[in-house]
Amino acid sequence: MKLVAIALAASALALTAAAETTEDASATSEATPQYTVAEAKADPAHWRAVDPENLFIFDTTKGRVVIEAFPEIAPKHYKQFSTIIRSGMYSGTKFHRVIEGFMAQGGDIRAINGEGSGLPNIEAEFTFQRKPEEMPLEYAIGYPEDAEGGFIKGFPIATRPLWIAQDFGNETVESWIPHCQGVVSTARLGDNVNSGNSQFFLMRGYADHLDKDYTAWGRVISGQDVVMSLKKGPDARDGLVTDPDILNSASVAADMPAAERPKAWVMRTDTEEFVETLDLKEGDLPHVCDLPAVPAVVEN
């Protein structure tokens, strides 16, 4: 829907320059160590199998993108997007707005059927309240009490420091998924924070100005190269693409026939093996979006 594209552009186009460039992002991706499905299957102490209910398969004209959703972080968005995927309404939708180093936007069902998803808009879930005892940072950047970022289940997480909650006697701490490269988030209508519906965007770079202002709910675990290859739109047209790439079909892995169903594993982020992949020096405190994406492997 052009209205959504323009509205998102009005609030986010200025962020393009702050985002990581495509070339830099590709270099980071190429530097990530490679692992095999066989290694992951044989090592459950270091690799986590992804729940097929949370595994979304996007087959595009440029190839397949595999997304893992994080229901606990944005449950209303998870329910809406999984419902739309299962409805088949994404088939034929376009990646109508793609900006270099920023994001690729798709999911405009109204442009296909003239009506939209038929579902109500989703209430914003920009942040979530995390109980550290139940959902700790599996890897914290810096001292756990002071950490403002890390990983949970392979997802990049930004957070208020734990000591703030402890000092105020709170049981929870505000946290969110930052808009790192590979993160999947929700488009909305301008300043209407509760206007997200069916449109999503896949991050092609890091745009910190979107954090806590758009609802991120997943990350690409395979096919980021496909995301980077989607046809871009010119800056003069706000990234709107002529003859754009198509989302041919979207599926939830759990619904696919067993023989065709992709299976995925993500490296656990609470192990020494994971820490070694980061290759950080003592005292390094990078932003979580500056770290490599947590390794994942997909079968099928």
Coil, strand or helix: which one is 3?
A: helix
pLDDT confidence of residue 168:
66
Question: How confident is the model at residue 11, as a pLDDT?
Answer: 37
How many Cα atoms sit within 13 Å of 32 on the Cβ side?
A: 23
Q: Which amino acid is at 205?
A: G
The pair phi, psi for residue 44, each rounded to 5°, is: -65, -15
pLDDT at 63: 98
Q: What is the pLDDT along the chain (300 residues), one digit of tens a residue?
A: 333 333 344 334 333 434 443 344 443 444 556 899 999 999 999 999 999 999 999 999 999 999 999 999 999 999 999 999 999 999 999 999 999 999 999 999 999 999 999 999 999 999 999 999 899 999 999 999 999 999 999 999 999 999 887 766 678 999 999 999 999 999 999 999 999 999 999 999 999 999 999 999 999 999 999 999 999 999 989 999 999 999 999 999 999 999 999 999 999 999 999 999 999 998 899 999 999 999 999 998
Q: Are the beta carbons of 108 and 84 closer than 8 angstroms?
A: no
Ranges of each domain in the chain:
37-115+123-299
> How far is residue 219's CA from residue 84's CA, in Å, rounded to a whole number?
18
| SS3 state at 191 | coil
pLDDT for position 33: 62
> 199 with 106: CB under 8 angstroms?
yes
CB 211 within 8 A of CB 179: yes
| pLDDT (0 to 100) of residue 28 | 41
**pLDDT at position 130:** 94
Those residues with Cβ within 8 angstroms of residue 42's Cβ, 6 or more apart along the chain or in another chain: none
Q: Which CATH superfamily is domain 37-115+123-299 in?
A: Cyclophilin-like (2.40.100.10)
CA quadruple 163, 185, 263, 287: dihedral positive or negative? negative
The pLDDT value recorded for residue 276 is 93
Give the containing element (helix H, strand E) for 192. Answer: none
- Two structure tokens written together for 300: 């099928």
- The 10 Å CB-count burial string (b at 16+, else e) for 151-181 is bbbbbbbbbbbbeebeeeeeeebbbbbbbbb
Q: How many residues would you count in the chain? A: 300
pTM: 0.89
What is the radius of gyration, based on Cα positions, of the chain? 18
